[in-house]
Amino acid sequence: MNEAETVLSYLYNCRRTDLYLRRHDKLGKDKAAILCGIFKRRLKGEPLGYLLGQTEFMGLNFKITADVLLPRQDTEILVETALEKIKSLKKEIKVLDIGTGSGCVAISLVKFTPHIKVTATDISLKAIELAKQNAVLNLVKEKIEFICCDLFPGHPSPVTSDQNFDVIVSNPPYIPSKEINLLQEEVQHEPRIALDGGKDGLDYYRRIIKEAPRFLKDNGHLLFEIGIGQAAGVRKITEDSGNFMVEEVVRDYSGIERVLILKNLGTLLKPIGDLSLA
């Protein structure tokens, strides 16, 4: 749906196809005033999702505020890849979504795979509150536990069996700090905390890869969305960690490496450790 269609279906409260199939009266004064307001702010670079307070992701509706990143098509690749992985596991599984923001990843996963339980975390309380509202809106409130924390639940207290996940997914902040100001105007309206991945953009991959083994079952999977050109850097962090191997790199529809699937090497490594201690 292009932006004009999005605004008109919002104002007429109808589906995109109905814009073309049904006759519509002229916009009344009130709605015309709303439209003018939207135009003015949009021309100043504010993203449409923030102006309408809502957006679509994976065909679902999400309430959006400027406290969270706007869900992007790139991230649908992460969800589709995670759905394939989860479906192939064919059992009741536990998923952790790190940095959930609006909740779009966690909610889509639950919506399309009934046999999972999801925990979703975010360091921003405002994001967690919004994600909870989105879970209610999408009728999956019972299936997701939302926790406001720094990456991992309960951190740094000991891990409980509830935190032993089969799959961890994350679209962490990954823009190098100095590059944020160079990005398009729309991005400048988004929360910096959701974008800034430190000097080289890879800080959160380092932290998650280092800490994830405590929260992941042996042979569990870690799925990351990555930025353009970051695959080699994240692969190096993965290999240096000794805890994971890169199982697959998934490209988006433009051929850009967009999602990395890492496999936890788990106990495969432990005998070597034990021998060296002996």
Where on the chain is the footprint of ligand GLN (CB under 6 A)? 69, 72, 74, 171-175, 187, 195
**Closest Cα partner for 191 from 257, 132, 125, 146?**
125
With respect to ligand GLN, which residue has the nearer C-beta, 143 or 189?
189
Tell me how far, at minimum, the Cβ of 72 lies from ligand GLN, in Å: 5
With respect to ligand GLN, which residue has the nearer C-beta, 15 or 251?
251
What are the C-alpha distances in Å from 162 to residues 9, 227, 228?
42, 31, 34
Query: What's the rounded Cα separation, in Å, for the pair 46 and 227?
Result: 22
Residue 82 phi/psi, 5° resolution? -65, -40
Q: What is the DSSP letter of 176?
A: -
With respect to ligand GLN, which residue has the nearer C-beta, 109 or 195?
195
User: Which 3 state secondary structure label does DSSP give 121?
Assistant: strand
**190, 193, 197, 203: CA torsion to nearest 10:** -160
Query: What's the rounded Cα separation, in Å, for the pair 38 and 55?
Result: 15
Tokens of 6: 């999005």
- Hey, which residues does 55 pair with through a beta bridge? 62
**Closest Cα partner for 261 from 240, 276, 277, 245?**
245
With respect to ligand GLN, which residue has the nearer C-beta, 105 or 118?
105
* In contact, 35 and 160? CB cutoff 8 Å: no
Tell me how far, at minimum, the Cβ of 273 lies from ligand GLN, in Å: 34
With respect to ligand GLN, which residue has the nearer C-beta, 116 or 194?
194
Residue 263 phi/psi, 5° resolution? -110, 135
Tell me how far, at minimum, the Cβ of 28 lies from ligand GLN, in Å: 36
With respect to ligand GLN, which residue has the nearer C-beta, 75 or 138?
75
Tell me how far, at minimum, the Cβ of 225 lies from ligand GLN, in Å: 6
With respect to ligand GLN, which residue has the nearer C-beta, 121 or 171?
171
Element of type H or E holding 122: strand 116-122
Tell me how far, at minimum, the Cβ of 26 lies from ligand GLN, in Å: 37
Tell me how far, at minimum, the Cβ of 38 lies from ligand GLN, in Å: 22
Tell me how far, at minimum, the Cβ of 97 lies from ligand GLN, in Å: 13
